[in-house]
């Protein structure tokens, strides 16, 4: 069991309504049951219903940041 581990996930999109990657919301919920904290870094953040021991950090694609602006960040 991984009770003392924190988990970092890097993914393209965190959105429970996405037709392709929406399943990942359920996976993160299950991971959050067995580790103290889950951090998700994604390009685009949408709707999610994750537990309190999760944090989603977005690189801002949902705000329309272009690839050129990513380089200058």
CATH of the domain at 41: 3.30.160
Place of tokens 């996930």: 9
Range of the domain at 60: 6-72
Distances 52 to 9, 20, 33, 58 between C-alpha atoms, Å: 16, 25, 11, 17
Q: For residue 33, is it within any domain?
A: yes
1 in any annotated domain: no
What are the tens digits of pLDDT across the range 12-69? 999 999 999 999 999 999 999 999 999 999 988 999 899 999 999 998 766 666 666 6
The answer to whether the predicted template modeling score (pTM) of the entire model surpasses 0.85 is: no
Average the pLDDT over 2-11 and give the result: 85
**What is the distance between the alpha carbons of residues 44 and 16, in angstroms, rounded to a whole number?**
12
Distance of CA 21 to CAs 2, 4, 15, 17, 71, Å?
A: 25, 28, 7, 8, 26
Q: Of 1, 5, 7, 57, nearest to 27 (Cα)?
A: 7
Question: Per the structure, how many domains does the chain have?
Answer: 1
For residue 1, pLDDT over 60 is answered with no
Residue 35 included in any domain: yes
48 lies in some domain: yes
**67: in domain:** yes
In a domain, 31, yes or no: yes
């Amino acid at each position: 069991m991984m009770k003392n581990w924190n988990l970092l996930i890097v993914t393209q999109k965190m959105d429970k309504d996405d037709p392709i990657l929406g399943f990942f919301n359920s996976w993160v919920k299950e991971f959050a049951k067995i580790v103290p904290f889950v951090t998700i870094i994604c390009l685009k953040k949408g709707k999610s219903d994750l537990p309190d021991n999760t944090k989603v950090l977005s690189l801002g694609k949902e705000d329309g940041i272009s690839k050129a602006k990513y380089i200058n960040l």
